[in-house]
Amino acid sequence: MKDLPDELDVSQVDLVGSSYGGGIAAQFALDYPERVRRIVFIDAEVFGEGSNQAWVARLPFGLNRAFTWYVLGGGPLAGNLSKLACFDQIACAESTDFRLAREALVRIRGTTDALFAYSKTPRDHCIPTYLRLLSVPAMAIWGEEDKIIPPENGQRLANMLNARLEWIPQAGHIPHIERPELVATLILDYLNPN
């Protein structure tokens, strides 16, 4: 990922990371702060307190990979994640973007392997320890009704980084799906202040 800005002939990037992507964005900004101009966290998993599927990796006889696909990848139960992730079930059910994103998981080779590898990764990673060292300007956006990453983590993240915090009412873990116009406006205004 660090070579992508060079490939695009871009000196700095703005990062937006949602859920696990928030941890990836944080790690990139910690590793390459000179390459990041601003960062936006959306219900970000940065404290290692989200759902932990490490037990899946210990299942025997290939059940670990099968279970990962069944529940997290493109399997039948994966679609039920919206019931946990969404406050507004109708908005998620009617969202073409959400449906297409879920369906795309079935078609992308390696998705199950990536999710399985993630489930094997210990949650005692270094991000929480070093997050205070993040020198990049940051904003956190959080669904007030997030049942996956507690809203208290949004406040904790904002306090730790002295970052702006925007609460999204009547939204769960994926406010950019439930309230796309509001979240897009917040992100664009933050990234392009004038």
Rg (CA), the chain: 17
Please give the pLDDT value at position 65.
64
Residues 108 and 61 in one domain: yes
Among the three residues 100, 120, 140, which one is the final residue of a domain in this structure?
A: 120
Q: How far apart are CA 162 and CA 51, in angstroms?
A: 26
Q: What is the pLDDT of residue 40?
A: 98
Residues 128 and 110 both lie in one domain: no
Q: Is the pTM of this model over 0.85?
A: no
User: Residue 84 and residue 54: Cα distance in Å, rounded?
Assistant: 19
Q: Is the same domain home to 34 and 63?
A: no
What's the 3-state SS for the chain? CCCHHHHCCCCCEEEEEECHHHHHHHHHHHHCHHHEEEEEEECCCCCCCCCCCHHHHHCCCCHHHHHHHHHCCCCCCHHHHHHHHCCCHHHHHHCHHHHHHHHHHHHCCCHHHHHHHHHHCCCCCCHHHHHHHCCCCEEEEEECCCCCCCHHHHHHHHHHHCCEEEEECCCCCCHHHHCHHHHHHHHHHHHCCC
Same domain assignment for residues 31 and 75 = no
The pLDDT score that the predictor gives to residue 71 is 63
- Report the DSSP beta bridge partners of residue 140: 41, 165
**Boundary residue ending a domain (75, 94, 120):** 120
Whether 65 and 102 map to the same domain: the answer is yes
**Mean pLDDT, each 10-residue run in order, the chain (194 residues):** 74 91 89 94 82 57 65 62 75 66 64 65 66 92 93 95 96 90 97 85
Same domain membership, residue 86 and residue 135: no
Q: What is the pLDDT of residue 185?
A: 97
- In the beta sheet, which residues pair with residue 178? none
Looking at the structure, do residues 29 and 78 belong to the same domain, yes or no? Answer: no
Q: How far apart are the first and last CA of the chain?
A: 29
Domain end: 65, 85, 120, which one? 120
Tell me the residue range of the domain where 16 lies.
4-50+124-191
For 73, phi and psi rounded to 5 degrees? -85, -120
CA–CA distance, 132 with 144 (Å, rounded to integer): 24
d(CA 43, CA 172) in angstroms, rounded, equals 9
Pair 131, 46: CB distance under 8 Å: yes
pLDDT score of 74: 61
Nearest to 17 by CA among 116, 107, 126, 127: 127
Same domain flag for 187 and 165 = yes
Residue 35 confidence (pLDDT): 92
The CATH number of the domain holding residue 156 is: 3.40.50.1820
Within this chain, do residues 46 and 59 fall inside the same structural domain, yes or no? no
Domain total of the chain: 2
Tens digit of each residue's pLDDT (9 = 90 or more) over 49-102: 545 555 555 666 666 666 666 666 566 666 666 677 788 777 676 666 666 666
